[in-house]
Amino acid sequence: MTAVMPWERADSKVSDRHLQRLAVVYVRQSTRQQLLDHQESTRLQYALVDRAVTLGWEADRVLVIDDDLGMSATSAVARTGFQRLVTEIGLDHVGLVLGLEMSRLARSGKDWYQLIELCALSGAVLADTDGVYDPADYNDRLLLGLKGTMSEAELHLIKQRMWNGRISKARRGELTFPLPSGYVRRPSGEVVFDPDEQVQTVIRLIFAQFERIGTLHGMLRYLVRHNIQLGIRLREGPDKGALQWRRPNRMTLQTLLHNPAYAGIYAYGRRRVDPRRKDPARPGTGRVVQARDEWLVMIPDVLPAYISVAQFEANEARLAANRARAESMGAVRGGPALAAGLVFCGRCGRRMMVRYHTQHSHARPEYVCCRDVTNYGAQGACQLLNAGCVDAFVERQVLAALQPAAVAVSLHAADQVMAERAELEKLWTQKLERAEYEADRARRCYHLAEPENRLVVRQLEKEWEAALAAQQKLREDHERFTRTSPRTLTPAERQTITALAGDITGLWHAETTTVTDRKEIARAIIDKVVLTVIGTSERVTATIVWTGGATTKEEIVRPVRSLDQLSYYPQLAARIRELAGQGIGANGIADRLEAEGYRPAKGGRRITATTIRDLMRRRLACPAGRVHRHRPAPPGEEPGPDEWWLKHLAAELDMTTSTLYAWINRGWITTRRESCWPHRLIAHADEQELAELRERRTRPPGWYSRRIWTETAETAGQQTP
């Protein structure tokens, strides 16, 4: 007796209403490898067309959707075939959905129940090798839900078994993964150094230069300047395993420095997928770098090492410190602030930032602690002070600390120059050897070809000529390098290095020493500089915490905005009153104060007479001395009514003569020259003009430049068609 299969029964669930619509056969395999190894499963799925015909559909009314071959059913986002199926069901075009088993349709509960709900709403039925199911029927819906749950659980179990096996193999150090540049894997599975010596030399040179330079971009510029390329083994394609030389780039170097394999550490689980950041359309996205204590596997001394573990940890710390974050020092930048990244606020303990002001094309740095302003909307900065006084203090202490080590510095500098030149010379030798091999190989290929076969010989001849040209160019570049950087230091060069290192101060202030060099030196021996302004005065307590833990504490003086912020302002005011009471003028008082050691608020050598007059007139309420509008003039012409000698007008307006000359050049003051020698300038200013000049005197600095810029912009806008 012949057995009757479930789909061959005259099932009452398939009606004429279903037969009037399409029957859809959904075909899917999870991976491309399954398409090659499990071809019988694919044939069985395509054979479902015959089963749809057996259920009553015409062959031309059976639609096969096989767009998802090689796609996993974990999600429907990237499965265009499943999306097409859902669309056809939603448009009421489908009466039957056929699949070899329900797991072929979806292994996600979200996608599976969406499909069931759409079939129930449109009246479509589903079928597999076990039978036909109507999602609108309670029993069938319960069975379909159970099948979907089992498919999803099965996928979870498969992944769990694979993951456990992977972790177990990784903990033994046997799990293979793509090796970074500088390593190869033997057929036995053992990881060894790349057999190409030039590849090893470049890797070691990169780590040595990063230790010396300290920044990723600086190391990249060094490699580009010396035309150094990275040797990369191809991981796929017909030339898999072949060595290619590629120019260095920032991301490759960053990955190289962060890779623990170069320190001999076998590590697994350094990057894990964060579902919140994963893009379903891009399989490689969502990976997040984990902290070292969160790595799944870390086994030291498994791989051959280019550097020590201590050097790897130092490189990691240096890269973290170079990040532009509030908690890190940051990389050395080109600004003039010497202690940038080292300064901490003595009040709140936070790192102080650098802020630059441009005045007369010069950048004026200042250290400011404004975290509360940025984060909490505070009214003012915690501390703010000019960087000049701090940098002068740091510079003085750094030079004092370096002075005893001058001899050691000279010897180390000479050894460092010798080591660097030796590494570069070794690399040049390997480049020349490789170029010679390539040229010889091209020559042998050319001679092995039959001379009559001109189609081949012409191409081999071009390749030989190209190899010879590359070899010649490399020789010329090497000769040029040898002339500019000889292999060994001459006695004169060693003596020069020793002399320069002995004169630390001269070397520090030399034109060849850049701001970046000075900052690197300061960071090498200083851990941080803690600043505490005493009240709002000019006195600042500065403490240097050296790298070894020792501290140096000193009180420095900063510029302040006004005289009344000075800690000795009461003594200064009393002294000015005393001298004014003795009948001494402003110039005489300025001379006395300079001799007695009083200094102005914003730095400088002396408090000017103009400042003393203003202080006496506005704050101290004491006689400031009478300003003579018409002093006896030298032999010559006398000013007329409403006319002034320039120094008298400057005193009347309480401004400097140089500013007055600037106003004359701008046409704000009318002048004439006296008719006889010495032909001095005489300014005209009546009462109304004096009032206008006094009003202009009260305007903020820079108002004239801003007005000129605005007028120029408006004129340009009017002339634009």
Q: Any idea what the Cα angle at residue 169 is, between residues 168 and 173, rounded to 5°?
A: 120
Pairing of strands 22-29, 94-98: parallel
* Cβ atoms of 464 and 438 closer than 8 Å: no
- Secondary structure of residue 622 in the 3-state scheme: coil
Length of the chain: 721
pLDDT in tens, 361-386: 667 888 998 877 777 777 778 888 88
Q: What does the alpha-carbon distance between residue 359 and residue 291 come to, in Å, rounded to a whole number?
A: 45
Q: What does the alpha-carbon distance between residue 335 and residue 100 come to, in Å, rounded to a whole number?
A: 69
Q: What does the alpha-carbon distance between residue 67 and residue 521 come to, in Å, rounded to a whole number?
A: 63
* DSSP letter string, 527-588: EEEEEEE-TTSSEEEEEEEETTS-EEEEEEE---SSGGGSTTHHHHHHHHHHHHHTT--HHH
Alpha carbon separation from 480 to 416, 428, 473 (Å, rounded): 21, 12, 11
Residue 488 has pLDDT above 70, yes or no: no
Q: What does the alpha-carbon distance between residue 66 and residue 82 come to, in Å, rounded to a whole number?
A: 9
pLDDT in tens, 43-77: 888 989 988 998 889 988 999 998 888 888 888 88
Per-residue pLDDT, averaged over 490-502, amounts to: 65
Q: What does the alpha-carbon distance between residue 226 and residue 221 come to, in Å, rounded to a whole number?
A: 9
- What is the number of helices (H) and of strands (E) in the chain? 25, 23
Q: What does the alpha-carbon distance between residue 149 and residue 435 come to, in Å, rounded to a whole number?
A: 63
Residue 423 has pLDDT above 90, yes or no: no
| Amino acid in position 51 | R
443: tokens are 């020559």
pLDDT bin (cut points 50, 70, 90) of residue 487 is low
For the question of residue 30 being annotated catalytic, the response is yes
Q: Catalytic pick from 15, 30, 151, 562?
A: 30
pLDDT in tens, 699-719: 766 555 555 545 544 554 444
Residue 625 has pLDDT above 70, yes or no: no
Query: Could you tell me which residues are beta bridge partners of residue 701?
Result: none
104: tokens are 């072929």
Angular region, 664: left φ>0, alpha ψ -120 to 50, beta rest: alpha
Q: What does the alpha-carbon distance between residue 306 and residue 312 come to, in Å, rounded to a whole number?
A: 10
547: tokens are 């790298």
Q: Which CATH superfamily is domain 6-167 in?
A: Resolvase, N-terminal catalytic domain (3.40.50.1390)
> Judging by beta carbons within 10 Å of its beta carbon (0-12, 13-18, 19+), is residue 326 exposed, middle or buried?
exposed
pLDDT bin (cut points 50, 70, 90) of residue 412 is low
| Amino acid in position 25 | V
pLDDT in tens, 323-375: 766 666 777 777 888 888 888 998 888 888 888 877 666 678 889 988 777 77
User: Which CATH architecture describes the domain 183-275+286-321?
Assistant: Alpha-Beta Complex (3.90)
pLDDT in tens, 444-464: 988 888 888 888 888 888 989
- Among candidate residues 67, 73, 34, the one with its CA nearest the CA of residue 152: 73
Domain extent listing, the chain: 6-167, 183-275+286-321, 343-404+515-557, 405-508, 563-618, 643-713
Q: 696-701: long-range contacts (C-beta < 8 A, 24 or more apart)?
A: 696/663, 696/668, 697/653, 697/654, 697/655
> Judging by beta carbons within 10 Å of its beta carbon (0-12, 13-18, 19+), is residue 18 exposed, middle or buried?
buried
